[in-house]
Amino acid sequence: MEIRKVGVVGAGQMGSGIAHVFSLAGYEVLLNDISAEGLNKALSTIERNMERQVSRGKVSAEDKAAALGRIRTTQTLTDIARSDLVIEAATERETVKQAIFEDLVPHLLPHTILTSNTSSISITRLASRTDRPEKFMGFHFMNPVPVMQLVELIRGIATDDPTYQALLKVVQSLGKTAASAEDFPAFIVNRILVPMINEAVYTLYEGVGSVRSIDESMKLGANHPMGPLELADFIGLDTCLAIMNVLHDGLADTKYRPCPLLVKYVEAGWLGRKTARGFYDYRGETPVPTR
């Protein structure tokens, strides 16, 4: 099956990035969100990021214009059901994702492949709520999507090989690299990354180091490009907490217990960059540690 039309659910940071790379690769993209403001913001972000690529010589002005012309938007979820491939990139809450797929199923084309950009939720469980578990996969892009080269492909227990092969070709057409992961909590990247972030929060919670000393230690001592607390702010502390809860619930191992300090920050609404406060305060000219 040839995939030409792609529907993306959710116009946030991940959804807009996914629409960006698919349109540049020649796919027709229909971007859906419940918010008109969110869709307008996504289009502005995509245009600005493509212009950055043009200024760096990575994309021609003609290709940018053509790519932007391939993106359409809609606030009606069922509009995207006529796509060859649907990518759900809504908030990391299973009930929200299930509701999206249940609303889409009655309107889908027989050949449409369903995917979720979830970073941790069971693909098998999401697929079981649809009429096509054999045509359902995890399609996990890394953030920021236009920059990061990896895509995790996660097969549910019922996913068939033609679906996997079709998505493997799609990843290659985007100029990215696929990593195949089994359907266990948080897959590969977040199974390793987010517990490290959680341990960094415990290190802060227990007073072993300050925000700045923890981040500097990992940048200079382990050659990480970004410290773990700075990275947590970039990802979103609510997302980090959601992934830790999935790991803790799914694997029943106390080593995945979310740090109480992480919980406290999320309860305060200090979610990182997107709320201007997390482990750093971003409201001034330069980020300032909040502890």
Annotated catalytic, 245? no
- Annotated catalytic residue within 83, 116, 120, 140: 140
Domain residue spans of the chain: 3-180, 189-287
Q: What is the pLDDT of residue 91?
A: 87
CATH architecture of 3-180: 3-Layer(aba) Sandwich (3.40)
Annotated catalytic, 111? no
199 is in an annotated binding site: no
233 is in an annotated binding site: no
| Domains 3-180 and 189-287 equal at CATH topology level | no
2 is in an annotated binding site: no
255 is in an annotated binding site: no
pTM (two decimals): 0.90
CATH architecture of 189-287: Orthogonal Bundle (1.10)
Say if CB 203 and CB 176 are below 8 A apart.
no
Contacts 24+ apart (CB under 8 A), 206-210: 210/289, 210/291
Name residue, tokens 């830790």: 244
- Annotated catalytic residue within 152, 198, 230, 248: 152
Per-residue pLDDT averaged across 270-279, rounded?
Answer: 97
Per-residue pLDDT averaged across 145-170, rounded?
Answer: 97
Report whether pLDDT(1) > 80.
no
Percent of the chain with pLDDT over 70: 100
Say if CB 45 and CB 39 are below 8 A apart.
no
97 is in an annotated binding site: yes
- Annotated catalytic residue within 16, 120, 190, 198: 190
Annotated catalytic, 216? no
Question: Which phi and psi (to 5°) does residue 138 adopt?
Answer: -85, 135
Give the model confidence (pLDDT) of 78-110 as tens digits.
Answer: 999 999 999 999 988 899 999 999 999 999 999
* DSSP characters over 75-116: S-GGGGGGSSEEEE---S-HHHHHHHHHHHGGG--TTPEEEE
92 is in an annotated binding site: yes
- Annotated catalytic residue within 16, 83, 116, 119: 119
14 is in an annotated binding site: yes
Q: What is the pLDDT of residue 240?
A: 96
Say if CB 187 and CB 152 are below 8 A apart.
yes
Q: What is the pLDDT of residue 120?
A: 87
Name residue, tokens 């369903």: 114
Read off the pLDDT band of 187 (50, 70, 90): very high
Name residue, tokens 């089994």: 182
Annotated catalytic, 152? yes
Per-residue pLDDT averaged across 230-249, rounded?
Answer: 95
